[in-house]
Chain A
Amino acid sequence: MISRLNVTSIYVLDKEEALDFYVDKLGLEKGNDVQQGDYRWLTVRARGDQSTEISLEQPGSPLHDDATAERLRELITKGALGGLVFITDDVRALYGRLRDHGVTDFTQEPTEHFYGTDMGLRDPFGNPIRILQQGKAVEQATD
């Protein structure tokens, strides 16, 4: 039986810029940062959450040939690749904090649904991110 998701990955155009966004603006923490030759294994994760790491992968050598990397970069910037969904305990406060940090690429302001309140934004490269504050009914069901 598989018990949990350990590592997922997301393509970024630049790992340093990704760190600036995901850690300094979004508030995640850096996980692993290991340089091996010209490859940097770099992960981020929700603060204090050791269970799931998000590996930040940059298209290009040694993972991809030049043509593949170029195609991936095009797809990232079109917003055509997969994104991330996070959970927060106060989405409206987070929305305010992100705006204070100069984040402008919101795809949706905090909006209430039957399952909770969520908002949408994009990372600097075009990847979609959603952040959900679960509703009370959902919280009780999963407690």
Chain B
Amino acid sequence: MSREVEELNRRLLRARDLMDRAYADPLDVRAVAAVAHVSPAHFSRCFRAVFGETPHRYLQRRRVERSMFLLRETDRTVTDVCFDVGFTSLGTFSRTFREIVGETPSAYRVGHGPIVAPHCVQLAALRPREAAGRAAPTEQF
């Protein structure tokens, strides 16, 4: 029993790593679930049980974190940043960013400059937390 849990954890972690690595690509649930050797139908539930949020939400927060990084560190336009991090619609990007961060991408950029910390520290520690009071994540990927 315990060994099965460990092996499932490890495979789900591999799928999570794929999202951290390839967030800019058009990832679909089938491809990510395949890395974990879990059926697409069960993947979201398994992932949430292990990591506390749906893979969809995990990927959204990774993409928003990377967009925050680009807004702080580069002069790229908000539209460019939106597509750089894997969003395919400016509307979805702006809505998701605002929901998670609590302000618009442009307002965030005005208030924030580069952070002097290693890339790995930023990746691990600066992924935005769940915004207070938002609805529970959907099961949809």
Does A associate with B in a complex?
yes
Interface pair B14/A106, CB less than 8 Å apart = no
Which residue on A lies nearest to B3, using beta carbons? A73
Answer whether A78 and B119 are a contact pair too, CB < 8 Å, given A107-B21, A125-B10: no
6 tightest A-B CB contacts, nearest first: A77-B9, A77-B6, A77-B10, A79-B13, A107-B17, A78-B9
Number of interface residues of B (CB under 8 A): 18
A71 to nearest B CB, angstroms?
A: 10
Which residue on A lies nearest to B14, using beta carbons? A105
Chain B residue contacts of A85, Cβ below 8 A: 120
A58 to B115, CA, bound (A): 37
Contact of A115 among B9, B13, B20, B118 (CB under 8 A): B118
Q: Which residues on A are within 8 Å of B, measured CB to CB?
A: 13, 70, 73-74, 76-79, 85, 105-109, 111, 113, 115, 118, 120, 122, 125-126, 130
Contact of B13 among A77, A106, A120 (CB under 8 A): A77
Contact of A118 among B5, B12, B120 (CB under 8 A): B120
Interface pair B6/A13, CB less than 8 Å apart = yes
Q: Does B138 contact A (CB under 8 A)?
A: no
Q: Which residues on B are within 8 Å of A, measured CB to CB?
A: 2, 5-7, 9-10, 12-14, 16-17, 20-21, 50-51, 118-120
A120 to B5, CA, bound (A): 25
A-B Cβ contacts below 8 A, count: 48
Using A70-B2, A105-B14 as known contacts, list a sample of 18 further A-B pairs with CB atoms less than 8 Å apart, ordered by residue number in A: A73-B6, A74-B5, A76-B6, A77-B9, A78-B50, A78-B51, A79-B13, A79-B17, A107-B20, A107-B21, A108-B21, A108-B120, A113-B118, A118-B118, A118-B119, A118-B120, A122-B13, A125-B10
Chain B binding surface, main DSSP class: helix
Chain A residue contacts of B21, Cβ below 8 A: 106-109
Chain A residue contacts of B119, Cβ below 8 A: 111, 113, 118
Chain A residue contacts of B6, Cβ below 8 A: 13, 73-74, 76-77
